[in-house]
Copies of this chain bind each other. A is one copy, B any other.
Amino acid sequence: MPTYKAPVDDVLFLLNDVFRIDRYDNLPGFSDASPDIVAAILGEAAKFCEEVLQPLNRVGDVEGCVRQADGSVTTPKGFKEAYEQLVAGGWIGISAPAEYGGQGLPGTLTVVVNEFLASANMAFTMYPGLTQGAIAAILIHGSAEQKARYVPPMVAGTWTGTMNLTEPHCGTDLGLLRTKAVKQGDGSYKITGTKIFISAGEHDLAENIVHLVLARIEGAPAGTRGTSLFIVPKILPGPDGALAARNAVTCGSIEEKMGIHGNSTCVLNYDGAVGWLIGEENRGLQAMFTMMNEARLGVGVQGLAVSEAAYQSAVVYAKERLQGRAISGAKFPDKPADPIIVHPDVRRTLMTIRAINEAGRALVLWTALKSDVAHRSQDDKERQAADDHMGLLTPVIKGVLTDQGFANAVMAQQMYGGHGYIAEHGMDQFVRDSRIAMIYEGANGIQALDLVGRKLGKDGGRAVMAFFNEVQGFIKENGDEAMKPYVAPLGEALGHLQQATMWFMQNAMAKPDNAGAGSYDYMHLFGLVALGYMWAHMAKAAHGKIASGDGERLKAKLVTGRFFMERLLPETGAHLKRIQAGAASMMELPAEAF
């Protein structure tokens, strides 16, 4: 059975030594987050994840959620009690504004805690995760009254939230949606339609559920310009805020799916349910977009989180399982065989996963800090730069960390041999659970298109130029002997990324298919450069600190960083070649030839 230990020390190294969180002290909430406080918070979160949530992970997978005859949904055994503890610990709202009952701490801490939660139990973590997304949407787009009514119980966890976008015939192309909203005399709307794949759509963890629903107001224009966003509570609050009448939204069924069985993925039927417009009419999709960066960052974190959990299990197995002898001679001649960690191919697996996880975590925290700047800074220019960073890096983090998270879970499972294929060891659950992160919140092909089609050219390429300049600046400033093994390969990889960017500029205007044909490779090329840049930063911090203590940990950072440069970064050349191949052979065949 898998065990899990939250990587608190690794996070503290990143926050304190690599990104120097003390430099952000001017932002609201950051001065409350002194190193001691942060360490204490993360220690508490770790304890909850390791002791309460992780043991429920397999329970959730085996039991799943059950829809009862009356349409109510029962979550797996133990989930309700764990949710009560989550709520009691205040974990949903640690970064929410104090005026709504939150603790106002940096959003970065929520991102860290969410990684721990999802490592321990991804399916469970989606319940509070979706609530956090709904809170963000209401805080940005809701009226003062809506905020006052809905946000406090959601921060407190007594109500949860959902996002209702997908319909049977449309997911990626939301312009096609059919759920309709009819305005009533009192300013409310009646919502009618069917939504599918609604995570946490119905459950027994909280007393109410706040559905955010995309629908089309009667007479609205066709396509994406005719969608509006509505708040549709499961139980309607009365004038005093207390729960009153049951609304006409019901769970029609729970999807039978590959993984995340502990989360109820519902078909929700809206049958003239009462809802209220949030934000402006026909601007629903734009409203969704403003919180999409955070939601996608959150899914990227899930990829990282499951990869970390799978890695930790693989490490335990690699040290315990005795099989064969080291190629360089027996390491434990007194045992019947050596532990498999002596074998280079097992090391390759462990080092690969670890090199991606540690840099992925850095990339996530770096970007989470930018998100805090974008939301909390008083400086317009700083805010804009941070926002540029978010827009550019979010599709990369979502696409690359979920693709790699799944690939890493598969690699960790492989290390178990046949035992990895058997349910009782839990490795196949990591594979099945992590698989969804590549799909939802915008399938990874869509992330790649977002990056290449929207983000690259936005504002004259301001964001990508700033990224290139930053990396290039770092490389120039750190040309010393100790940093060479990191910055030299990084420079080469950055060159590949710049060539690929240039190739799009020269070849995608006249023939847009060239952009689509290379987008997926570009996303991964970008991801490798970004992860490589994180390794260069971590190496620098490790060099700077290694004399003063924790030498083994810091030395491991330096070695793992070198492994990344030697083994993973060389892929950038292949990505560039594929991008430069263009769309010709890809698009040449007629559809009938398939």
Residues of A within 8 A of B (CB): 166, 169-173, 175-176, 196-197, 255-259, 315, 318-319, 322-324, 327-328, 336-337, 339, 341-351, 354, 406, 410, 413-414, 417-418, 420-424, 428, 431-432, 435-436, 438-440, 443-445, 448-449, 453, 511-513, 515-517, 519-520, 552, 556, 559-560, 562-563, 566-567, 570-571, 573-574, 577-578, 581, 583, 585-589, 591, 593-594
- Give the chain B neighbours of A513 by CB distance below 8 A: 327-328, 344
CA distance A172 to B328 in the complex (A): 18
Q: Report whether A567 and B573 are in contact in the complex, using a CB–CB cutoff of 8 Å.
A: no
Q: Report whether A585 and B562 are in contact in the complex, using a CB–CB cutoff of 8 Å.
A: yes
- Give the chain B neighbours of A318 by CB distance below 8 A: 594
CA distance A585 to B559 in the complex (A): 6
- Give the chain B neighbours of A319 by CB distance below 8 A: 591, 594
Can you give 11 A-B contacts (C-beta < 8 A)? A257-B421, A258-B431, A319-B594, A327-B453, A347-B517, A414-B443, A421-B435, A566-B585, A567-B581, A570-B577, A573-B577
Residues A424 and B256 in contact in the complex (CB < 8 Å), given A336-B176, A517-B344, A583-B344: yes
Q: Report whether B328 and A512 are in contact in the complex, using a CB–CB cutoff of 8 Å.
A: yes
- Give the chain B neighbours of A420 by CB distance below 8 A: 439
CA distance A90 to B567 in the complex (A): 50
Copies of the chain in the assembly: 2
Q: Report whether A438 and B418 are in contact in the complex, using a CB–CB cutoff of 8 Å.
A: no
Residues A166 and B418 in contact in the complex (CB < 8 Å), given A517-B344, A574-B571, A591-B319: yes
Interface of A is mostly: helix
- Give the chain B neighbours of A347 by CB distance below 8 A: 517, 586-587
Q: Report whether B422 and A256 are in contact in the complex, using a CB–CB cutoff of 8 Å.
A: yes
Q: Report whether A417 and B443 are in contact in the complex, using a CB–CB cutoff of 8 Å.
A: yes
A134 to chain B, nearest CB (A): 19
CA distance A519 to B342 in the complex (A): 15
User: 17 extra interchain contacts, Cβ-Cβ under 8 A, other than A172-B417, A343-B516, A344-B515?
Assistant: A170-B323, A173-B323, A176-B322, A176-B323, A256-B422, A257-B421, A257-B428, A344-B587, A345-B445, A345-B516, A346-B445, A351-B585, A413-B435, A417-B439, A421-B436, A563-B586, A567-B585
